[in-house]
Structure 1
Amino acid sequence: MLQRLSNVEDEDIGGALPLGKPERLVIVTDAWHPQVNGVVRSIENTNRELAKLGVEVAMVTPQGFRSVPCPTYPEIRLSIATYGQVARQIRQHNPSYVHIATEGPLGLTARRWCLKNRMPFSTSYHTRFPEYVAARLPIPKSWLYSFVRWFHNSGAGCMVATPSLARELSDKGIRNLVPWSRGIDANQFHPTALEDRPFGLQRPVFMTVGRVALEKNLPAFLDLDLPGSKVVVGDGPARAELEKRHPDVLFTGLKFGEELARIYAQADVFVFPSLTDTFGNTILEALASGVPVAAYPVTGPLDIIGEDSDVGALDEDLRAACLAALACSREKARELAVQYSWEAATQQFINNIRAANGVITPKWKKAWQFAKTLPRARKPA
């Protein structure tokens, strides 16, 4: 199973820290509240675990600056901030370390500050930036990948969630790739008794959760001829159009906390139609809820589930995957999900940052060579 490498439960990154030295981390991100996405949730969960480790975290986010809506995606706010404004926010926290989470306006300015002040910094690759931009604007992906290389290669380590993504980015010329997996709150997301007609719908219930946006490839799921019912949980710029095109589909809007967990647990199959996600936090949430997963054999599903699995089905024919997933084990889905913990993922995260700053000697490079042996993700036509 590929997930054992991405989770790294035995934590082979360690090293002793100098005693008595406070650790102050500044995280710079263009993705933050009120956005609801995997970047925001990953940083939130990581910050909670960092506090338990005694690491002081300060955030530099769009909430501290004037912003404008992103063209074609108004839910995303783009910060309007001068170099001096961003520099002051970073300096006032007197950071031991700086981590830049996104390639947006704040990330670019923080990168400039770090280089100017000879401050080592780490980055993370959360989003397929070239693919997302190219889908909305007439810009060649080759130009966008040149920008991504320029941005991330100037840092001391670029964190990626899965081995297959590491291999893909390495092929694109991005260096210093280091593993940072993800976790799941298995207490919040858990199986419950199945209702005969959840949401008043006929079973089987095929469900997807996430942003209702172009890059999520939702029509590949919604256009399928499947038995039972379909449910979409989430919101986004494509929701109105998709609701109009698919009046037979239940669109619930955004859900949070225990209500979201209860909804997950009533699904028969979780459908993950995205071809561009770098991990897929919702896959773990579904598995923890005891729900098998149907997806394409691409980065994320390949790493978490694997091609031959009892917890889900991966197929270039998404309909075939959905039907095959009906026969998968809900118990084994749960067993797989609980292997992932935010505690282990956060230990990876902070040790990557310590290694980038020369505080410890990293030991992950040898293990990360496994990425070269993994099958390449296949993107269906």
Structure 2
Amino acid sequence: MKIDTLVVKGIESHDNPHKAVIPPIYLASTYIQDELGNFQEYAYQRGGNPTRAAFEKLFAQVEGSKYAYAFASGMAATTAVFNLLKTGDKVLLNNNVYGGTYRYVSGIFQNQGISYEMVDDFNALTEADLDDKVRFIFIETPSNPLLRVTDLERVVRLAHSKGIKVIADNTFMTPYCQKCLNFGVDIVVYSATKYIGGHADVLAGLVATNDDAVAERIKFIQKTLGAMLSPFDTYSLIRGIKTLSVRMDRQMDNTHAIIDFLESHEGVKTVHYAGSHSREEKAVHSKQAKDIGAVISIELADGYDETAFVKGLKFFDLAVSLGGVESLICQPAFMTHESYPAQLRAQIGINDGLLRLAVGIENKDDLIADLAGALKGAKK
């Protein structure tokens, strides 16, 4: 099945008495066992739930992975992966990565005796940059919020030559646009709150892998830490993922039209999107993804006021997050990356005037008119 069909038909469950087209929501916290020494698959909700299992099975098919595990949030999924590390290990991350991920590595790793290093450009990574302590390379491509692109195949080849695992946060692209495991990535994580859920009404995370040993450990961590996805929230993902391809097609079509408008407007100095940084990054992204996604960042030209611009918008709500059907705008420096020290933000290029747009499914002409009106009102 193509992914468009799979997200709809792959979740149909005919192994229930009434042959419902979606799996039932099993709310039970515990399950009756037949007898001592003869225990069934499910015993306690934290360890396993039929609704969650059905979705995990579906997502593994969508991702093209042997295993998938659903968590209570994107950070719960990332935390589970970081719990594979041991004292003395080191992680390399691209320098503009989700603020919550940075908050974790900068605030928690030290308590565990784990070190980390922020890398300016993974595409320039060499063997000399990989000391004996490095166990993980953690990549967002495109990155958040500057949409920088990393060559997954190149990094994987380099990492695997040193026995290092590569983890990719694929939240922005989703498996509809980018299949990281196909390029040798060991573990893929998602904030399923975003495009997988698609309606800004659920917190969820996902971990996918083909590695048997990693999968066994992730399942242990899921059960032990207790940050698994609830049955009701799992249902929200089951409902949301069915329209993944339809939503993303519309959002990416809108995004291309908005980029064309913004790049031609005198009030916009810079538009950041996947592949915009350089020809090399554009070529890499075209090789490993089918489109650019629906998140962009912009910087206004001199003589335009960011506060007035945001206030003048009607259809881009000022809010964090992305991936829902509605269009949003935020100021990364203070809304998503506030955990970064100001000096690090300045070094990376996350300046106070940077604005991130998450493009929704509204009519693109309405969205462009909204941006045009706000830019007109923002001119000093």
TM-score tier, shorter chain, comes to: 0.3 to 0.5
User: Which structure has the higher relative contact order (CA within 8 Å, separation 6+)?
Assistant: 1
TM-score, normalising length from structure 1? Answer: 0.34
